[in-house]
């Protein structure tokens, strides 16, 4: 290759070496790539471009030996510039012979592949992260499937057993309690998954109300007391002389946080006690910052567990310890909810075999805007006696249970099995409210309300649906539904809503 051709290769560093590896010449591209003038490299050994570690391993000599014996050697490796920075290089060393075939030296051609290296590394990291995420989600699906099937198995099993004729009333009442308890547990798991989805999307609904913090903590403790008694462990609230009678925050979200943290404490504690205490950390004219400490004498956490507990889908502890398995969502949800309340959830102390201390911080906003106060509706039996109601649902079972509950509140609703039947009934009778399922064959809830409005029918319509995401609520609101009630139905809320219609 001519010297002119070599000099024109400005994106490549080209060096001509003698048989010992001493640099005899270099092109202009070599200066661009390494920052070294030709005068600085000519007469020096080409090993200057290798790292100290590579030189100690005799790589420069081995590379020359391979090129000499095989005629060609190619490798990718880090090389060092004049300023000490490194670049990922593609290095090709060719053996040079004279016209008689006698070995006279080498050519070394170097190209900068740093950008390509970074792209490949980024791609590998993305693939690794995607595989890790997929593995975690697959494990989560397996775990959540187990969590769902456990209460579902109890519900179906006892419901089937209740079909027998020879069951006394005491046992029947006990079995119904079990079905109800597992149904609520199933609903809690589903709500946790939905809450995580909302939080990941940055949409957490916060409702500020006034409440007594002592009473709230007492109520949460009473909820868990039977579990503590069953495990023969103590749970107590160490009340301090702090004014917490009128806290302004989201009481329900705070309950969810405490349920998760205290529930975990009980689950991982087999002896000793769980202690809850409250501290006021900071006070300003506008707000207070409170800290709730939950201390247990359970199994504690290892350093590895401490680094992972606030990641979604992660479960800590011995994988074989099946009795302590959960969905891996509780602490993630608790922390994100606390952040939404102007605080945080932290692990402030732990030791294997000793126990753990978790901190729940939240903000008390002191004053409550009148618009933030939820409207209290006093529930009365027979409060639906004067209401004309139409229930529309393609599920016969749903129709039956909704009608039973509304009957218990004094209502006498009509039912329709699909959208077409609903339109026929509305044409022949005036209703105060329509309770509308969304997912129905032939004509869904959105199509029904659209047809009603086109017919100039202004009857209020409440969506009854299993779709519970924020975007689902927005969709029903935009379609003209006055409210969005998710299944399983909170009948107290539904009846309150119907009762307030005029």
Q: Is the pLDDT reported for residue 35 higher than 90?
A: no
CATH number at residue 183: 1.10.287.130
Q: Which residue, of 52, 80, 112, is where some domain finishes?
A: 112
Task: Please report, rounded to a whole number, the percentage of residues in the chain having pLDDT higher than 70.
Answer: 87
Lowest mean pLDDT among 97-111, 139-153, 171-185, 243-257: 139-153
> What is the tens place of the pLDDT at every residue in 130-147?
887 777 677 667 666 766
* Residue 171 is assigned to a structural domain of this protein: yes
State whether 52 and 157 are in the same domain: no
CATH number at residue 9: 3.30.450.20
CATH number at residue 462: 3.40.50.2300
**216/241: higher pLDDT:** 216
Q: Is the pLDDT reported for residue 432 higher than 60?
A: yes
Where does 327-385 show beta strands of DSSP type E?
344-351, 355-364
Count of H-run helices and E-run strands, the chain = 16, 17
State whether 291 and 255 are in the same domain: yes
- Total residues found in the chain within this entry: 502
Cβ neighbours for 141, distance < 8 A, ≥ 6 positions apart = none
Q: Which whole number is the average pLDDT over 80-105?
A: 90
* Residue 301 is assigned to a structural domain of this protein: yes
Q: Which residue, of 200, 228, 245, is where some domain finishes?
A: 200
Q: Is the pLDDT reported for residue 321 higher than 50?
A: no
State whether 266 and 196 are in the same domain: no
The alpha carbon torsion through 52, 53, 57, 58 (nearest 10 deg) reads -30
pLDDT band, very low/low/confident/very high, at 78 (cuts 50, 70, 90): confident
Model pLDDT, residue 262: 94
Q: Is the pLDDT reported for residue 371 higher than 50?
A: no
pLDDT band, very low/low/confident/very high, at 319 (cuts 50, 70, 90): very low
Model pLDDT, residue 336: 86
Model pLDDT, residue 200: 63
State whether 279 and 346 are in the same domain: yes
* Residue 377 is assigned to a structural domain of this protein: no
Model pLDDT, residue 276: 96
* Residue 384 is assigned to a structural domain of this protein: no
State whether 107 and 149 are in the same domain: no
Q: Is the pLDDT reported for residue 374 higher than 50?
A: no
Counting the structural domains of the chain, the total is 4
State whether 171 and 292 are in the same domain: no
* Residue 270 is assigned to a structural domain of this protein: yes
State whether 43 and 67 are in the same domain: yes
Model pLDDT, residue 128: 85
pLDDT band, very low/low/confident/very high, at 476 (cuts 50, 70, 90): very high
Model pLDDT, residue 373: 39
Model pLDDT, residue 320: 40
How far apart, in whole angstroms, are the C-alpha atoms of residue 466 and residue 479? 17
Which tokens hold the place of 131?
A: 């595989």
Model pLDDT, residue 437: 94
Q: Is the pLDDT reported for residue 318 higher than 60?
A: no
Which tokens hold the place of 12?
A: 């490549």
> What is the tens place of the pLDDT at every residue in 1-30?
545 545 556 678 999 999 999 999 988 888
State whether 191 and 319 are in the same domain: no
Lowest mean pLDDT among 124-133, 146-155, 447-456: 146-155
Closest alpha carbon to 45 in 27, 21, 24: 21
Give me the domain span that covers residue 465: 389-499
- Terminal CA-to-CA distance of the chain, rounded, Å? 95
Give 250's DSSP letter.
-
State whether 263 and 307 are in the same domain: yes
Please state the pTM of the whole predicted model. 0.49
Closest alpha carbon to 54 in 34, 32, 21, 80: 80
* Residue 165 is assigned to a structural domain of this protein: yes
Q: Is the pLDDT reported for residue 210 higher than 70?
A: yes
Model pLDDT, residue 453: 95
State whether 241 and 331 are in the same domain: yes
CA distances from 467 to 471, 482, 484, 492 (A): 9, 16, 9, 19
**491/148: higher pLDDT:** 491
* Residue 17 is assigned to a structural domain of this protein: yes
Q: Do 237 and 217 meet the contact criterion of CB atoms below 8 Å apart? A: yes
CATH number at residue 229: 3.30.565.10
* Residue 191 is assigned to a structural domain of this protein: yes
């Amino acid at each position: 290759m001519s010297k002119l051709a070599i000099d024109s290769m400005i994106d490549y560093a080209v060096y001509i070496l003698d048989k010992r590896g001493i640099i005899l010449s270099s092109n202009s591209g070599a200066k661009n790539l390494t920052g070294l003038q030709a005068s600085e490299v000519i007469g020096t050994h080409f090993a200057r471009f290798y790292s100290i570690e590579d030189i100690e391993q005799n790589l420069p000599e081995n590379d020359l030996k391979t090129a000499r014996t095989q005629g060609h050697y190619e490798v990718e490796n880090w090389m060092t510039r004049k300023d000490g920075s490194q670049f990922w290089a593609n290095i090709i060393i060719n053996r040079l012979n004279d016209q008689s075939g006698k070995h006279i030296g080498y050519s070394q051609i170097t190209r900068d592949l740093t950008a390509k290296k970074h792209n490949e590394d980024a791609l590998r990291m993305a693939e690794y992260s995607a595989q890790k995420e997929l593995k975690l989600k697959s494990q989560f699906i397996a775990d959540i499937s187990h969590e769902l099937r456990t209460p579902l198995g109890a519900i179906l099993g006892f419901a089937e057993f209740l079909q027998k004729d020879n069951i006394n009333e005491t046992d029947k009442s006990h079995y119904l309690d079990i079905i109800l308890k597992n149904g609520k547990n199933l609903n809690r798991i589903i709500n946790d998954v939905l809450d995580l989805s909302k939080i990941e999307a940055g949409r957490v609904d916060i409702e500020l109300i006034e409440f007594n913090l002592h009473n709230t903590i007492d109520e949460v403790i009473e909820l868990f007391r039977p579990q503590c008694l069953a495990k023969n462990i103590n749970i107590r609230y160490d009340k301090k002389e702090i004014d917490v009678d009128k806290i302004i925050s989201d009481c329900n979200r705070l309950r969810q946080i405490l349920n998760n943290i205290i529930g975990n404490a009980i689950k991982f504690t087999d002896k000793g006690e769980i202690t809850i205490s409250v501290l006021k950390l900071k006070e300003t004219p506008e707000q207070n910052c409170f800290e709730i400490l939950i201390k247990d004498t359970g199994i504690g956490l290892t350093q590895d567990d401490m680094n992972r507990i606030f990641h979604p889908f992660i479960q800590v502890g011995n994988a074989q310890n099946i009795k302590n398995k959960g969905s891996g969502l509780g602490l993630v949800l608790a922390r994100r909810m606390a952040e939404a309340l102007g605080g945080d959830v932290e692990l402030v102390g732990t030791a294997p075999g000793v126990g753990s201390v978790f901190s729940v911080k939240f903000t008390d906003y002191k004053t409550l805007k009148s618009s933030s106060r939820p409207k209290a509706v006093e529930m009365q039996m027979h409060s639906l006696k004067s209401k004309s109601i139409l229930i529309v649902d393609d599920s016969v079972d749903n129709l039956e249970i909704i009608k039973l509950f509304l009957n218990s509140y004094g209502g006498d609703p009509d039912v329709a099995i699909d959208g077409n039947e609903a339109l026929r009934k509305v044409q022949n009778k005036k209703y105060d409210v329509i309770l509308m399922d969304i997912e129905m064959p032939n004509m869904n809830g959105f199509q029904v309300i659209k047809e009603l409005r086109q017919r100039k029918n202004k009857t209020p319509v409440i969506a009854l649906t299993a779709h519970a995401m924020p975007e689902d609520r927005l969709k029903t609101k935009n379609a003209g539904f006055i409210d969005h009630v998710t299944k399983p139905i909170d009948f107290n809320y539904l009846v309150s809503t119907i009762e307030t219609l005029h």
